[in-house]
Amino acid sequence: MPPLLKSLDTDLVALNRDRLPQTIAAKTRRFYDVISTIYPLSSYIFHARAHKVALEMAGVRDGMQVLEIATGSGEMFRKLVKANGSGKTYGIDISPRMAARTHKQVRQDFPKAKAHCHAVDARYLPFRPNSFDAVFCCYLLELLSRDDIILMLSEVHRVLRRNGSFSLILIGSNESAFFNGLYEVAGSIIPAFWGRQMQAEGAEILRAAGFHIQHEVLVKQSGYSSRVLQIVKD
Ligand SMILES: C[S@@+](CC[C@H](N)C(=O)[O-])C[C@H]1O[C@@H](n2cnc3c(N)ncnc32)[C@H](O)[C@@H]1O
């Protein structure tokens, strides 16, 4: 074997021994890439109302530095860019197709806005510490393993300025046994799409990551419930 390949091979063996946190990120990226053209429908039917509430609760003012993590097909991102016309709005999503679609639409709809969306993994944010006044993240935590949630929250904590606003939307978990049962079945069939519902551990992980929850509102749309959390960096 050529020396370069041999050293690569040794590195791969070492990597396998030194196992990274369990994650389904690669599967999630592939899955959301495939459904990127039909995803907007699901976002309008189930998420639009919760997006609106999160935006109102965060009190985004024009001129801010705003980040949205896991934009999906960009329904919330466009609301943020509209509210922050002369500020800077960044979006990221692990699925290259979702990010490209969001970027293209926002460039078409708001050609003068300083708004960009790129394919980036939320566990490793390419921004300097204390860069943002407000960070939004809707329906992502359910798709991340506990280790990945901790990595992602520590990145949010790093890039958000002190007393900055963190808006998080989680899927509601304590409303109806029917909804919870349906979610459990769907999540066990396609975990990379549905993930799993977050119970009380959401609040516990947030506190451990250096955040505190200021307000929490339950929003329902089309039989689907969402928990909208307004959080502050301590
Ligand atoms: C359920 S969708 C939510 C989309 C959008 N936030 C909304 O409110 O409709 C989850 C999104 O998270 C993205 N995602 C999953 N894992 C990610 C990661 N590690 N980093 C960034 N985005 C991720 C997926 O590609 C998908 O677009």
The pLDDT, as a whole number, for residue 199 is: 65
User: pLDDT for 21-66, tens place per residue?
Assistant: 467 788 889 989 988 899 899 889 999 999 999 999 999 999 999 9
Strands 160-171 and 224-233: antiparallel
Residues 234/156, Cβ–Cβ less than 8 Å:
no
| Nearest residue (CA) to ligand 1, atom 12 | 70
Residues 213/231, Cβ–Cβ less than 8 Å:
yes
Confidence class of residue 179 from pLDDT cuts 50, 70 and 90? confident
Among 42, 94, 194, residue to substitute to test ligand 1 (most atoms within 8 Å of Cβ):
94
Determine the atom of ligand 1 nearest the C-alpha atom of 76: 8
What the chain holds in terms of domains, given with CATH numbers, is 48-233 (3.40.50.150)
> 6 C-alpha vs ligand 1 centroid, how far in Å?
37
Q: How far apart are CA 70 and CA 48, in angstroms?
A: 15
pLDDT of 18 above 90: no
> 186 C-alpha vs ligand 1 centroid, how far in Å?
17
Q: Is the CB of 227 within 6 Å of ligand 1?
A: no
pLDDT of 1 above 60: no
The pLDDT, as a whole number, for residue 174 is: 59
Q: How far apart are CA 93 and CA 36, in angstroms?
A: 11
Question: What tokens does 79 get?
Answer: 């609301």
Model pTM above 0.95: no
Highest mean pLDDT: which range of 13-27, 73-87, 179-193: 73-87
Residues 197/171, Cβ–Cβ less than 8 Å:
yes
Average pLDDT of the chain is 87
User: pLDDT for 82-102, tens place per residue?
Assistant: 999 999 999 999 999 999 999
